[in-house]
Amino acid sequence: MQHYGFPTELMDATTSLDTAAFFSRFEAGGMVEGAFAVFDVSVLLSGNGTVIDLCDHPTALRAIRQEAYGVFHRRHSDLKDPQAVSDMGITWYTFLSDPLEASRIGRGRPLLSVSDDHTAGLLRLWLDGSVAKHQKVTNPVAEYMAHRIAHCPLVTNAISWHGPGQPKEVEAITPDQAHIAINEQLEIDTSIKLWSRNHPDITAR
């Protein structure tokens, strides 16, 4: 869930320098600045820390592309805290780059894509089912979830069908596989209506 907008206690980490540069950069006065932390895994694991491989699931393409890991520390969540720097073996690095180099880093935007990722669609379906099974949530909660969750509808594709009255075998495919463009705002608006108590009559997409 960490890479699809659902809040967790994990801090993002990666083994990819390009991924770290993409997510840590910000533009200021025509230049691109950034900062990222490098930590010693052995120091982290010998203390109160845990490292979780988020690439372990084969359909979690967003996490795989980002070479993503989740870091949890029982004492620290602020990596800039001097005590956290000491306890977790952290070294901070800052960088400054020109617009040409920034454009190269900017090519990392596909790291954010969910249109070819089954896991993104499954999370939204899970939320739909949870709301249907229990009850709708308050509108602020629905809006919070809808604006955080990565929206990627799964499309049903019939792979065998022998005619009316016959069982149909189907598979879930991604928008990319179905050659369908995602209207993100429409997906957000629909999710709010489906999850929010302000829209009690909306029960299906």
Domain of 104 in residue numbering reads as 2-109
pLDDT digits (tens, 9 = 90+) for 72-126: 988 888 989 999 998 888 999 988 776 666 566 656 567 888 888 888 888 888 8
| Separation CA 123–CA 153 (nearest Å) | 10
31: confidence class by pLDDT, cuts 50, 70, 90: low
Same domain, 105 and 128: no
Same domain, 59 and 123: no
pLDDT digits (tens, 9 = 90+) for 114-164: 888 888 888 888 889 999 999 999 999 999 999 988 877 777 776 776 777
Same domain, 99 and 166: no
Domain boundary residue, one of 66, 88, 109: 109
Instruction: Report residue 18: phi and psi, to 5°.
Output: -60, -40
Same domain, 37 and 71: yes
> How close are the terminal C-alpha atoms of the chain, in Å?
22
Domain boundary residue, one of 109, 127, 143: 109
Q: What is the pLDDT, as a whole number, of residue 100?
A: 67
Q: pTM for this structure?
A: 0.71
Same domain, 34 and 73: yes
30: confidence class by pLDDT, cuts 50, 70, 90: low
Say if residues 105 and 21 touch (Cβ distance below 8 Å): yes
Residue 123 structure tokens: 């999370």
| Percent share of the chain, pLDDT over 70 | 88
| Separation CA 15–CA 21 (nearest Å) | 11
Q: Which residues of 48-81 are buried (b: 16+ CB within 10 A; e: fewer)?
A: ebebeebbeeeebbbbbbbbbbbbbbeebeebee
